[in-house]
Amino acid sequence: MNKLFKITNKQIFPIMLILILALARLIPHPMNFTPVIAVAIMSGYFFKNIYLSFATLIISMLVADLFIGFYENMIFVYLSLLLISFSFYKLSKKINFKNLFIYGFAGSVIFFIFSNFGVWVLGSPGVSNLPYDKSLSGLIECYVFAIPFFPNTFLSTLIFSYPAIYIYKSLPAWSSPR
């Protein structure tokens, strides 16, 4: 636990950047056009300590959700973000401007699969107020109805990830991952 709170100057900037991106969820935006997947990808890239990555991600999400409101399938959203963060933590040495597009797509797909599985399992109160059938056809229907939201998810991931990695790499003291 002591390692978790041992924050160096090198980690202050990424923490601030992630918190700013997460708080951007509070600003009015088009459906699914948020920086959450970019935050998950970048937290996995920025930090040497995976627990600091997870803590920063979860705390920033919880702070924003305190204002936005909690929702039924939060567990699926949070788990998908932790999986994305963990995956990109493992791939962090390979993240660069060229492959960030592919990684952004992969992160968006992971989020799409997990979060919409949660909608299927728990229903979607507030969206359509109609639960999906608990069958393969209901699951497929849930994913099909979610497709129109995917472009905003992917586009926002790219729009928030590229500037974050550019700013991080532009600062000489922080130019290498972790």
Contacts of 84 (CB under 8 A, 6+ apart): 37, 40, 41, 44, 107, 110, 111
SS3 32: coil
Handedness of CA 94, 22, 163, 149 (dihedral sign): positive
> Would you list the domain boundaries of the chain?
9-174
CA separation (Å) from 137 to 39, 41, 133? 33, 32, 7
Rounded Cα–Cα distance for residues 112 and 142 (Å): 11
Give the residue with greater pLDDT, 47 vs 80.
80
Question: What mean pLDDT is reported for the chain?
Answer: 85
pLDDT, tens digit, 9 for 90 and up, residues 13-36: 777 777 777 778 888 888 889 888
CA 66-69-72 angle, 5° bins: 120
For 107, the enclosing helix (H) or strand (E) is: helix 100-122
pTM, whole model, 2 decimals? Answer: 0.84
Question: Which pLDDT score is estimated for 25?
Answer: 83
Helix, strand, coil shares of the chain as percentages rounded to 5? 70, 0, 30
